[in-house]
Amino acid sequence: MQIKQFLPIFDWLPNYQKQDLKGDFWAGLTVGVMLIPQGMAYAMVAGLPPIYGLYGAFLPQVFYSFFGTSRQLSVAPAAMISLLIGSGLSEFAAQGSEKFVEMAILLAMIVGLIQLALGLLRMGFLVNFLSQPVISGYTSSAAIIIGLSQLRHLLGVEMPSSNLIHEIARHTTQHIGETHLLTFSIGLGGIAMMLAIKKYKKSIPGAIVVVILGVLVVTAFDLDKSGVLIVGHIPEGLPRVGLPAISFDDILKLLPLAMLISLVGFMESISIAKAIQMRKRNYKVIANKELIGVGFANFFGSVFSAIPVSGGFARTAVNEQAGANTNLASIISAVVVGLTLMFFTPWFYDLPKAVLAAVIMVAVIKLIDIQTAVWLFRTNKKDFAMLLATFIFTLVFGVQIGITSGVVLSLILLIHRSAYPHLAELGKLPDSSYYRNLSRFPEAVEREDALVFRFDAELYFANSQYFQERLEQMMTKKGDALKVIVLNAQSIYAMDSSAASVLEDIVEECHQRGIEFYMTEVIGPVRDVLHKTGLFDKIGEDHFRMRVQDALDHFDRHDKRTNCYAIQTNL
């Protein structure tokens, strides 16, 4: 087996082209500079000292570049993951404490192991249970919470941190009168400047410009002495190497949160990776290998004091737009962050926390997905209701309950759709042998003595009773004139023993009532079940036909009026 199947870096590195270097260099430099303020800002969201955001932006990128299949994905601390870290770990330790930091690093290791296990077991499909309405509702709500959680830094007031919208509102109302106007002016000015740069000159990294100006202004005018809160001392040097403090009790506590972060982080990573790959089309993103790549980034990152990481929408887009062709761009970004850790962290001593709050607020604005909500409201009310429920639950009960409730709602809706699938009574189109839904084709003609219907789903234990009840309703509506039933089951792709038992009851009832029973277009797996259960013989070989019209023609020719029941199934 080729080594590139284990290490995707060998898929692109041996064939590296000289002309790709320029794009990779400038993309790596751009994203590396972008990650410095962003990493520190997301560490604040997670309730951690800023240095741990830089640790998360350092080596995880390198580990991902060896094992990941996307060539543009930028793996580092992310807004939603940081919010989950902050809200989840605050139950076990005070934010910013040594215990909190240890648990955050241990969490990264557990997340990495879970993602590696899921990838090796080819379980990437699990992310499909995070439906688009759930993702949109959760993301929008989480963006609002992340933004509002920074109000205390923007206003320059001391108030309890929270991830619940009503608590944030209450605390803000109670402390709004304590607003430090100078701090507020700095933060508001930073937001305005970043938005202006983004509007008029997207190529300029607005966040790093605002960070530099914030440091210069505070240093020049000693604004920290006037009450402007600053980041303060940031440890200089590379992160320590070693396994995080491991406690079996802590592992048990962190497992639910780790599983949630594993799925949410992978969802972020795979969605943006596939979107970029669709535009590039010169390589293939493989979901299970992405799980392994992000898993290694988290696991090995924790050995170097990194917090949980994932792919990020904004910085990956910047990486691609800046010209990244391969994962060498991520390695260059890591070098930029590493040089900052070794030589430049003292430069950020006077960085105002209000500026980092401004960076976060501007970064999360684009995560509020109004467009999807409007589109779903117009096109699918059920999906819109699921989006709205996830949005409200996240705001009111917190991010963990919010996304969990969204997944549960998705599963409930999936089960409901499976238990009550679409079923249609069919009629014959004039001058043809085609049978279509009577409710959609008013011109279709139904026979008084025939019931033709289609069941558009797998027939199994969860919907077999519904199948029987609906059929009995249609038979009752037809009355005594009914002589033949044909089931068009082109969408019945499987059948279990419970459904076979229900179908047997239906066949026996038809025999007793003198109604012929036909099945048409039965596919192989369903036909196998019918043979194994003996239903094939009970229905009769000559009552299995290729088309509805064949079944009705057979009935008309023989017109036996025996106790038979006709079902048509589709391939």
Rounded Cα distance, 195 and 528, in Å: 64
pLDDT of residue 14: 86
Q: What does 7-20 look like in DSSP terms, one character per residue?
A: -THHHHSTT--TTH
Consecutive 10-residue averages of pLDDT for the chain (571 residues): 72 86 90 88 90 95 93 90 89 90 95 95 78 83 86 89 84 91 94 90 81 92 90 90 88 93 87 76 83 95 95 82 88 95 92 90 83 91 90 86 83 88 93 91 92 94 94 92 91 93 92 91 93 92 92 82 45 39
pLDDT of residue 312: 83
Residue 319's nearest CA partner among 18, 22, 28 is: 28
DSSP code at position 496:
-
Question: Which residues have a Cβ under 8 Å from the Cβ of 437 and sit 6 or more positions away?
Answer: 424, 425, 426, 444, 454
Rounded Cα distance, 157 and 172, in Å: 9
Q: Is the dihedral of CA 439, 443, 448, 449 positive or negative?
A: negative
Residue recorded with tokens 């077999």: 464
Residue 92 tokens read as: 């076990």
Strands 435-437 and 423-428 turn out to be antiparallel
Residue recorded with tokens 């109604």: 515
Domain ranges of the chain: 19-382, 423-558
CATH of domain 423-558: 3.30.750.24
Strand partners, 451: 485
Check: CB of residue 62 under 8 Å from CB of residue 331: yes
pLDDT of residue 3: 66
Phi/psi at 362 (5° precision): -70, -35
521 Rama sector, left if φ>0, alpha if ψ -120 to 50, beta otherwise: left
Q: Could you tell me how far CA 49 lies from the centroid of its own chain?
A: 28
Q: What does 108-157 look like in DSSP terms, one character per residue?
A: HHHHHHHHHHHHHTT-GGGGGGS-HHHHHHHHHHHHHHHHHHTHHHHHT-
Q: Is the dihedral of CA 505, 510, 511, 517 positive or negative?
A: negative
Q: Is the dihedral of CA 449, 455, 460, 465 positive or negative?
A: negative
Which pTM value belongs to this model? 0.78
> What is the helix (H) or strand (E) element at residue 405, kind and residue range?
helix 399-419
Check: CB of residue 146 under 8 Å from CB of residue 323: no
pLDDT of residue 187: 93
> What is the helix (H) or strand (E) element at residue 486, kind and residue range?
strand 484-488
